Structure 1
Amino acid sequence: MFDFSKTEKSLVFSLANLAIISKYKIKFNKNEILFSADRIVTKFLKDVDFKILKADNKIDSPVIENATILFYNIPDESLDKLKSMFLNNVTVLESNNEGEVFLNENNNSKIYINGFLVATEKNFLFSYNIKKPTKTIIKKIEKLELPFKRTAYVHKIKTILLNCEKAEIAMYLAKDLEKLDGGQAHDEINWKDVQLHAVKLLNALNKYLFITKSDYVKYYYLIDTAIESGYKPVYISQNIKDIVESEKDFLGKNINTINVFLEKYSKNFEFAYINKDQLTDVEKENLKIVENLLKDLAVELEIKISTNMLETKNKKYHVKNRTLVLKKEILSNIDTTLENAIEGIGRILYPEVDANRAILNLFVKFLKDKQNKFTHVSKINQKESIINKFLNKFKKKDGEKDVR
């Protein structure tokens, strides 16, 4: 693509240098190129056949204003090659002050400077037209150093992307974000500032939920709820999640990670409480067993029954302060009633530990309370039972916990 004959190099030199510094129109005719621009720097018209058809000032000036030039005697094969060097018939996805973004043709990315092709990329998601060339880029064009190496334009590409504001660009980037962990993402999405921009833009434009693959395994039940509420999940890497947790989008809102969604969901959730007299006889009987358990444990807390439940991993109970909310449907089965009630009571009494440890602590408390009642009733103080000896080993430790 960038292999030129001597004659072609002269034309490329003239056209490239004229194009990157002006507002122009170019038309390719039979063996001719018609080039109109707001300014023509005449020093770039070297070793080419041309004539000036129109100009606002003297044609021998160093810079000709609002001029039209005709390049002629161009062989057909050269004309086709020159035509391929200019941006033509593309659908622009987004345009901003820094440049334009458009889809690739045949998975081949092209980099243009003010409409003139300077490089191709094998693993870019988009093609780009840079509107504001740097001094370095202009010097490279003057020396005809084609194709450019990526270092010459990569900063400009980032700047174009970071100035994009449309959802369409963000969605393409979001799809690529999901490929990042598998190593199949395009090169632009490997730039963390571009990743962050895509997340912020999507978050501001619509209801997206940004999750990692491990989030889905851990919170699948909550993600299903989010989807039912209209959220669309977008997978991101753990590294970018760690960054966006503390970021705001372009409207000043928190990024919708799983933690943010859970907080909003919990805050807005309303339980559908029912009275105990609305329970069936079986449900009342099983609830009574739980209430008797609380008496045996000498624990005072409120039990409420709801026909719905805040989505958690078990979905069957919820604890808040000294209240245990049980989902009505579990009360029809004594096993599920006790499983959820015991875990919930443990979470209320021992909030600083995990569920398993809380249940163990609750069991120890239950045994201690039972042993103390047995000792009081039998008034056998001389000999300690085997279980009492065992529990006495932890008496001091348990006493310290009570103080805290």
Structure 2
Amino acid sequence: MVTVRQFDLNIEKVLEHWNIAFALRELIANAFDEHKLTKTKEPEIYKDENGVWHIRDFGRGLRYEHFTQNENKEKLEHPELVIGKFGVGLKDALATFDRNNVHVLIHSRHADITIDKSHKHGFEGVVTLHAVIQTPSDSNLVGTDVVLHGIKDEDMDQAKDYFLHFSGDKVLETTTYGSILKPKKRKHARIYVNGLCVAEEENFLFTYNVTSLNAALRKALNRERTNVGRSAYTDRVKSILLACSSSMVADELAADLKNFEAGQLHDELQWTDVQLHACKILNANEKVIFLTPNQLRNGGALVTYAQNDGHRIVVVPESIANRLGNLKDIQGEPIRDLDGYRTEFNHSFEFDIVPLKQLSKTELRVFAAKDIIFNWLTKSQTQNIKEIRISETMRMDFVGNETLGLWEPLEQRITIKRSQLRNVADFAGTLLHEVTHAFTGADDETMEFERGLTELLGQLASCALQKESKKGFWDLFR
């Protein structure tokens, strides 16, 4: 025996601006929520041989009680799984279908349900939308089958387009907060929440599917679930990016950094912490070196050595480069910038020492100037120096060029680049520079170094005024 009951949907506010695609979106969202909550087969959306559309899930089956809920307790307890939380979403969809003359028939093992208008109970002058509840035509039906007469294909296509499941977007990485995706078809990036689009972003590099909702985002997911403001999901997008660790994501972020000087960065790259994280990932996963545009132009031989060593050059803004030297990557290793590579290079460097017997006569004559210079200096100025040697190659200075001379305090020796032996002036200048380091222990461009160099030059000037010394020294310039 077929029983028929009418259930007042009590829709107080009809969403007049909703179109059919919005209503279909709600039914599809409910089907996917049931799939995730029950871990049953994926929903099916298809058009039968009569041209009628079906939205079918394989869960527990719709009951008339589902029309009574304001908020679904089960869905609220599993925000990481489901799209919806409002029981009114189904009612909004049914009201929209009714307004657009779409006939709906819902089958489940609990009931067959259609929609009709009827007098509100106790108020005969008021006509409202009711669900018509009938005895199920198939009491063994698994799940819920929503049958829709009067749906155009373009309406269904538009509805499905709201869902990540049908987008074809490529997942680049999944984190505890959600996924980073590369849009496949559409022009603009999107923000999904558990697979449902809630916003579009014209200047985002990636599309994001947020699966771990914070309070701000949960609050923003209103009854309509569209056009959610950026302030609601920015923190979650940042969390997703900062939790990623793959080079696939970091490469895209780093490539976008190249647009910094042109002012054409995507919006995610406006966030400094995201820029730095991209560098951390690349440093951990690849052999890279981070340079500013200026360092790339003026880095000299050091940049060439880095490339020859197999390092990939990643150009970053000055503001980011200034912070990298104090950071470690996601594996706890120092981030390699130009200073870091220089240190590595110098530690691994081996001098190409030139034996004196291989020097030319001109080079030997210039090298001999060291004896005259040392005779003019005081013992306190030269006592720390045990050896002076010549090398074909040298370590790198702070801008990436080979140094001309080097004082090594532990070895108590000065090494000078062979090219400085081309004349006494170049050699003497380099030698005096390194002697100043030796007796002052000071770095370049410090007050102590400047005072020490002044002292040396004063001592030499004093000796040069003596005729016999002056003659012996200047003979070298002939």
- Structure 1 length-normalised TM: 0.78
3-state SS, counterpart of residue 393 of structure 2: coil
How far is 1:286 from its partner? 1.3
**What whole-Å deviation, never above 9, does each CA across 1:39-78 have from its counterpart, x for those lacking one?**
777444321524246x7xx569xxxx98343342222231
Instruction: State how 1:3-402 maps to structure 2 within 5 Å.
Output: 5-16=18-29, 19=32, 23=36, 24-29=42-47, 31-36=52-57, 42-43=66-67, 44-46=89-91, 47=94, 49-52=104-107, 58=110, 67-73=143-149, 74-87=151-164, 88-104=167-183, 105=185, 107-134=187-214, 137=217, 140-216=220-296, 219-298=299-378, 299-300=381-382, 301=385, 302-312=387-397, 313-321=401-409, 322-350=412-440, 351-354=442-445, 357=450, 360-371=454-465
Cα 1:69–1:97, aligned 2, differ >3 Å: closer, same or farther? Answer: farther
Contact 1:20 1:114 in 2 (8 A): no
- Return the alpha-carbon distance in structure 1 between the equivalents of residues 213 and 35 of structure 2: 11
**What whole-Å deviation, never above 9, does each CA across 1:175-229 have from its counterpart, x for those lacking one?**
1223234321111111222122111111111111122234446643322222222
- Return the alpha-carbon distance in structure 2 between the equivalents of residues 10 and 78 of structure 1: 10
Contact 1:272 1:306 in 2 (8 A): yes
**What whole-Å deviation, never above 9, does each CA across 1:321-357 have from its counterpart, x for those lacking one?**
2422112343244454344334333444453452994
- Return the alpha-carbon distance in structure 1 between the equivalents of residues 35 and 418 of structure 2: 74
3-state SS, counterpart of residue 457 of structure 2: helix
How far is 1:370 from its partner? 4.0
- Return the alpha-carbon distance in structure 1 between the equivalents of residues 219 and 107 of structure 2: 26
Cα 1:296–1:138, aligned 2, differ >3 Å: closer, same or farther? Answer: closer
Q: Which has the higher contact order (CA 8 A, sep 6+)?
A: 2
2:106 partner amino acid: K
- Structure 2 length-normalised TM: 0.67
3-state SS, counterpart of residue 363 of structure 1: helix
- Return the alpha-carbon distance in structure 2 between the equivalents of residues 265 and 93 of structure 1: 35
Provide the alpha-carbon RMSD of the alignment. 3.4
- Percent identity (aligned): 25
Q: Structure 1: state its 5+ residue gaps.
A: 377-404
- Return the alpha-carbon distance in structure 1 between the equivalents of residues 434 and 202 of structure 2: 56
Cα 1:311–1:134, aligned 2, differ >3 Å: closer, same or farther? Answer: closer
Contact 2:198 2:228 in 1 (8 A): yes
How far is 1:315 from its partner? 3.3
Cα 1:135–1:254, aligned 2, differ >3 Å: closer, same or farther? Answer: closer
Contact 2:25 2:160 in 1 (8 A): no
Contact 2:22 2:159 in 1 (8 A): no
Contact 2:31 2:55 in 1 (8 A): no
Structure of higher CA gyration radius? 2
**What whole-Å deviation, never above 9, does each CA across 1:230-268 have from its counterpart, x for those lacking one?**
222222233333433222212211111222222222222
Cα 1:25–1:188, aligned 2, differ >3 Å: closer, same or farther? Answer: farther
- Return the alpha-carbon distance in structure 1 between the equivalents of residues 221 and 443 of structure 2: 66
1:166 partner amino acid: S
3-state SS, counterpart of residue 273 of structure 1: coil
Which residue of structure 2 aligns with residue 397 of structure 1? none
How far is 1:28 from its partner? 4.5
- Return the alpha-carbon distance in structure 2 between the equivalents of residues 141 and 50 of structure 1: 28
Which residue of structure 1 aligns with residue 3 of structure 2? none
Q: Structure 2: state its 5+ residue gaps.
A: 1-15, 37-41, 68-88, 98-103, 113-140, 470-478
